[in-house]
A and B are shown apart, each in its own frame.
Chain A
Amino acid sequence: MLQYTIKRLLLTIPTFLFISLLLFLVLNIAPGRPGAANSGQQGESTQQEQKESFRIFKEQFNLDKPILLNMRFNDTQEEVREWLVAAYNLEGNATAAERIAAQETLDDHGNYLVRHLLPLLADPDIEVRKVANNVLIPASQLRFVSERRGDIDAARKQNREISKRNQRVKGWVWDGDLSEAEQAALAAGWKDWYAENQADYTWTTTEKAEAFFFDTRFAKYWSNLVHLDFGISTADRRPVFETVLSKLKYSLSLTFISVILAYTIAVPIGVFSAIRQGTRLDSAVTVVLFVMYSLPTFFTGTVLLRLLTEGEPVSWFPTGNFQTMTSDPMTTWELLKDIVWHLVLPIATYTSVSLAALSRYARAGVIEVIRADYIRTARAKGLPEPVVILKHAVRNGMIPILTLLGGLLPSLVAGSVIIEVVFNIPGMGQYIYDAINLRDYNAVMAVLLTSSMLALLGILISDLSYAFVDPRISFD
């Protein structure tokens, strides 16, 4: 058993890695990107478009890196020249799409362009010389090192050096028409500068191998993840992990109570309809449960809100939210009452769906054992019927439904998107919904990775619990 557990636990590591890779790829390949949705309302443009800040934004979140593998050290001078010509439409025949793509490539490749841009400063075409000079300035800028972890003082010192170097070339702009002499002076300046700093813009074979795997979005993400750093939200710039923790209390109190409620109601109903199998009452229960199961939660929720909160006919419950919006302090008891009062409707909605499915499982489980030999034996022994059912049948019939609990673990944390939106509960469901809309990669990754981790754990727990509750099963 112990051996099996260890084996399974070790297996979760590669599984988790693979899941994270898959999620990361799907997320990064999906249309749209973070920041783009940041400007203005959906479907509406505003005056301030943020093209300027987008470059800095991309650098901040490593969005300028290739997703999985980095081949940028293989750029050639011809390619770079083509990008320049396309991005600045020097031949006058580039389409808007080509220009945007080329501009973006130039922005993203940054340091990798430098050694190809320098020879272009002597290009026969003066326009190429000009844009090459002006692209060199941003391309030559070195990235600051992180001051978040490790030796902060050393990092600070290094950043001061980097800042000094970046400042040095800032003014070398080719603006308007320059005389031959001025052009030559600029080019000479770059030449000297390159002689000094060449090492930062050329790559040895080992450095290439390193860049190939590690100068990528995925590698950068994982290097943060192993430090348990889920990164910063691209939408609100808060550490994602902090936000997730703060959302957890809302989702947990909703899902946890609902699951317990669903089990306590579903099991008796299931058992009841199992022993009355085939009767009219069983059919009635079945029909009612199926109706409950088929009603979508957004419908049930809205109907409950409409009927029970708006005074038509009654207004017994608040119109959503987790607690009363007030700035007056409350005692713990008042607070508890308030939260319970707010949670009645969402919990009822959440429970109504899971109830139906669970009671079906319970019914099936009991029906299966009720025909077993040992039940007949128990009856033959002359045991009273309630004892037969409760002590012998239900206990064994509940094994499958208990093991379902393990699978519920991730949904406990992930909450319910629809119920949280309808009832305006600021939990994890709402959070991930917004995060997906805003293409907030870090937030989506954090929520999905946590729930896949919990799913892996849940499956393990349910497998183990099989062996625990049913002695016939053994993993050894």
Chain B
Amino acid sequence: MSKLAQSGFVMGSLGLLVGISVFNAVQLNNLETLTIENQKRIQAIEKNGVAVTGMVAGGSTRDNASDTCDQACEALKDPNNILVRPSRDWITAKTVEPGHTLRLKIGSDPRGLNPYIASGADNSMFNGYVNDFLAWPDFEDPSKYFPMLAVKVTSPDDGLTYRVELRKGVYWHLPTVDWDSGDFEWLKGDGPRGRHELTSDDYKFVYDMFDNQQIAGRISSLRPYLDTMKEFRVIDRYTFEVEFSEKIYTNQAIILGLHPSPRWLYRFDEDGNQYDDATWGLKLNEHWYNQKTIGVGPYRFVTWESGVKLELEADPLYWGGQPSFERVLFSVVKDQNAYPRKVKSGEIDITNLQAEQYATEIKENTSGVYLGNEHIKSDVHDTLGYFYLGWNLDKPMFADKRVRQALTMAFNREGIVENIFHGLGKVNSGPFGMQTACYDQSIQPWPFDLEAAKAKLEEAGWTDSDGDGVRDKIVEGEKVDFSFTILIYGGSTEYATLAEVYREDLLSIGVKMMPSAVEWSTMLKKMDEREFDVYTGAWVLSLPTDLMQIWHSQEADKAVSSNRIGFRNKDADRIAETLRTEFDTAKRTALCHEFHALLHEEQPYTFIYQRRRPVLYWDHMNTPEYELQYPHRNIRHFSFQSEPTRP
């Protein structure tokens, strides 16, 4: 009996134990569910409370702007104000109640989020949502700016000094810290809910960072652009002046495009102790808040989990009115092949595509339904990026412009864009964005014409004198074959195919060319050291146009510069210098056109094409508007036109 009873007892108590554990787990789970629901309710109540305070404290939200003329509207009446009224409303009208989450993807983790320390396109994108600029280029005429954080910008001496008057009643977001711990009370300001108001000091601090040689981040790469900045003067709480030593056209764009940065946060360590004047720059490089970011823009930074996601939430106090989305969620998707899959599953609302994906999903898709869902739409947008071949002009072989023209004419650019890049581009003929006024539409690219190329080579003295099929010429008493190496980026099969097509065409006109595919860091080194005949390059243009960096001969003489090809041309120097200081739009355009014609004739680069970018998106998004430079850069232009159709 004992054995049976014993085992019965053991089994019984075990069963009981399991039963109790399960019961406990279920109870605990119920409790957790309740807690979460309560938290949500509390958050909802808090949010409503904030919204009410916002109306009182803000005073200049868009709703009451229509009744009375506020500070910004008064300022625009001043004829000296450089800023103008926007040509159309810069926030897309909302057709759906806010409260939705916009889901986007990023291809890699940002390298820190402080806009002045970390670099990278993603980083400037986040800060574009979290923070605001002084002013924003107008949609119709990008040389004009409309007010954002600045309501008035004047320049009494036409471009030497700028006086900026800030919008009043703009408040910094609450820093994203653990407020419950009570350790961060020192971060509170005297605005509504402990927020700090935006003041001139937030721009003075940017200048201080700029002036501090210890800071190694992105701000130091801005230094060459603003080396003519002489002095920064705080006039009062909302007004400051910036003085330059020289009138440079791009100064205005750079100044107006700066984010403010709070001294009350970045000059202090995590315990609220101020850094030493001697070393604060070094400390800023590794500041405790650099993995987060803060701003005065429509969305407040919530969290960044490395490799997982980055999240923003709407700021109910935003000076420009209620943002379109309650939340913005960026998933980190490192595998580019997964982009279409992530759209299809509804994990992201919009994505760009690789050329190969565009070909399979869109171009070769005859059904008109993408990814098997009729709510998914596709589109192709212009960008400001272009591809080119850069000839090493220090090599005697490429010194003659007729040779470069011939080499361009032997390059089947139309065919390559159509067949290798699946038509995602337009063959261009000059260094400006084809959609901008600077680009002279009347200049056609050199045609693909092997016969004409042969004639040009003959003209330049390259003939096949020994009948070996390769052209040659006597250079400095020695016979040299027309044979060179093209340096290509090995990370892309498209470049390899491109080089192969080019190689065959060149061979047919008696020119020998060998492709050499290398890894990016090696390629960069070879380009810097000018150890190449010709390389395949890509460039993203910036607005407004500045030609000094790539085309001026003084850059060609520097050891490391963007003028890697060694382009030295007196006319080009003159145009670049004049353009730098010319403020008149019509004259600037004329200079651009002159430069375009010059480069077309000289062919230091063989321009291949300007890139277009394909996207896939869910149709609940308003037809997304794109900024020229970076597609889906600005989610202010995004909104939902219907309830989300994604799963």
Which residues of A are interface residues toward B (Cβ below 8 A)? 31-33, 36-39, 41-53, 56-57, 60, 87, 89, 95-97, 99-100, 103, 144, 147, 156, 159-160, 162-164, 232, 235-238, 243, 246-247, 250, 302, 305, 309-312, 315, 318-322, 325, 327, 329-333, 421-422, 424, 426-427, 430-431, 434, 439
Q: A159 to B283: give the CA distance in the assembly, Å.
A: 12
Q: Give chain B residues whose Cβ lies under 8 Å from the Cβ of A325.
A: 103, 308-309, 329, 331, 347
CA–CA, A53 to B282, complex, Å?
A: 12
Contacts A163-B278, A237-B111, A331-B29; is A97 near B530 (CB within 8 Å)? yes
CB distance from B335 to the nearest CB of A (A): 5
Q: Determine which of A144, A159, A243, A311 lies in contact with B306 in the assembled complex, contact meaning CB atoms within 8 Å.
A: A243
B495 proximity list for chain A (CB < 8 A): 43
A424 contacts B333, CB within 8 Å? yes
Residue of A nearest to B281 (CB): A56
Q: Which of B66-120 contact A (CB under 8 A)?
A: 101, 103, 108-112, 117-120
Whether B492 contacts A333 by the Cβ 8 Å rule is no
Q: Can you report 13 residue pairs joining A to B where beta carbons are below 8 Å apart?
A: A31-B525, A43-B489, A45-B537, A45-B538, A53-B216, A60-B216, A60-B282, A100-B559, A236-B291, A246-B306, A318-B345, A319-B342, A426-B306
Nearest opposing residue in chain B for A433, CB measure: B334
Closest to B538 in A: A44
Look across to chain A and name the residue whose beta carbon is closest to the beta carbon of B330: A325
Contact across chains for B524 and A36 when beta carbons are under 8 A apart: yes
**New A-B contacts (4) at CB < 8 Å, excluding given A31-B522, A236-B111, A321-B308:** A32-B522, A56-B285, A319-B338, A327-B101
A43 touching B344 in the complex, CB below 8 Å, given contacts A311-B372, A424-B333: no
Whether A232 contacts B220 by the Cβ 8 Å rule is no
How far is A60 from B112 in the complex, measured between Cα atoms in Å? 16
Indicate with 1 or 0, residue by residue over B311-343, a CB within 8 angstroms of chain A CB atoms: 100000000000000010101111101100110
A320 to B327, CA, bound (A): 22
A52 CB to nearest chain B CB (Å): 5
A322 to B308 Cα, complex, angstroms: 8
Which of A45, A87, A163 meets B562, CB within 8 Å? A45
Q: For A57, give its contact among B216, B338, B540 (CB under 8 Å).
A: B216
- A87 to B279, Cβ gap below 8 A? no
Q: Complex Cα distance A32/B525, Å?
A: 8
Is B279 a contact of A236 with CB atoms below 8 Å? no
Report chain B residues within 8 Å CB of A97: 529-531
> Which of A52, A162, A232 is most buried by chain B, counting CB atoms within 10 A of its CB?
A52
Of B109, B217, B519, B539, the contact of A31 (CB 8 Å cutoff): B519
Q: Does any Cβ of A come within 8 Å of B356's Cβ? A: no
> What A residues does B345 contact at CB under 8 A?
309-310, 315, 318-319
B1-33 residues with Cβ-Cβ distance < 8 A to A are: 25, 28-29, 32-33
Across the interface, which residues of B come within 8 angstroms of A33, CB to CB? 521
Q: Once bound together, how far apart are the Cα atoms of A53 and B117, in whole Å?
A: 10
Q: Once the chains bind, are A327 and B311 in contact (CB under 8 Å)?
A: yes
Contacts of B223 in A (CB 8 A): 52
Contacts A31-B522, A45-B537: A430 and B307 contacting too (C-beta < 8 A)?
Answer: yes
The interface on chain B, measured as residues whose beta carbon lies within 8 A of the other chain's beta carbons, has a size of: 89
Out of B331, B520, B559, name the residue touching A96 (CB < 8 Å). B559
Complex CA–CA separation, A32 to B519 (angstroms): 9
Q: Which residue of A lies closest to B530 (CB)?
A: A96
Chain A residues within 8 Å of B194, by CB? none
Instruction: Evaluate whether A424 and B327 lie within 8 angstroms (CB atoms) in the complex, with A45-B538, A47-B540 already known.
Output: no
Known: A42-B491, A421-B335. A49 touches B347 (CB 8 A): no
Tell me the minimal C-beta distance from A212 to chain B in angstroms. 27
Complex CA gap A95/B109 in Å reads 38
- State whether the Cβ of B218 lies closer than 8 Å to any Cβ in chain A: yes
Contacts of A37 in B (CB 8 A): 520-521
B538:A43 contact, CB within 8 angstroms: yes
B213 at the interface (CB under 8 A from A): yes
In the assembled complex, how far is the CB of residue B646 from the closest CB belonging to chain A, in whole angstroms?
13
B528 close to chain A: CB less than 8 A: yes
- Once bound together, how far apart are the Cα atoms of A300 and B286, in whole Å? 42
Give the residue name and chain of the B residue nearest to A47 (CB).
Answer: B542
**Given A309-B341, A327-B101, A426-B332, also A95-B530 (CB < 8 A):** yes
Q: Given A42-B491, A45-B537, A96-B529, are A50 and B562 neighbors across the interface (CB < 8 Å)?
A: no
The residues of A that contact B492 with a CB separation of less than 8 Å are: 43
Q: How far is the CA of A57 from the CA of B112 in the complex (A)?
A: 15
Choose among B118, B119, B215, B341 the residue that contacts A305 (Cβ–Cβ < 8 A). B341
CB of B221 within 8 Å of the partner chain? yes
Min CB distance B274 to A, Å, is 12
Cβ–Cβ contact B25 & A53, under 8 A: no
Closest beta carbon of chain A to B636's beta carbon, Å: 21
Chain A residues, Cβ within 8 Å of B329:
325, 327
Q: In the complex, are the beta carbons of A329 and B39 less than 8 A apart?
A: yes
On whether the beta carbons of B221 and A52 are closer than 8 Å, the reply is yes
CB of B477 within 8 A of chain A?
A: no
Rounded to whole Å, the gap between the CB of A417 and the closest CB of chain B is 11
- Chain B CB within 10 A, most for which of A31, A33, A46: A46
* Complex Cα gap A247–B489 (Å): 32
CA A236 – CA B308 in complex, angstroms? 15
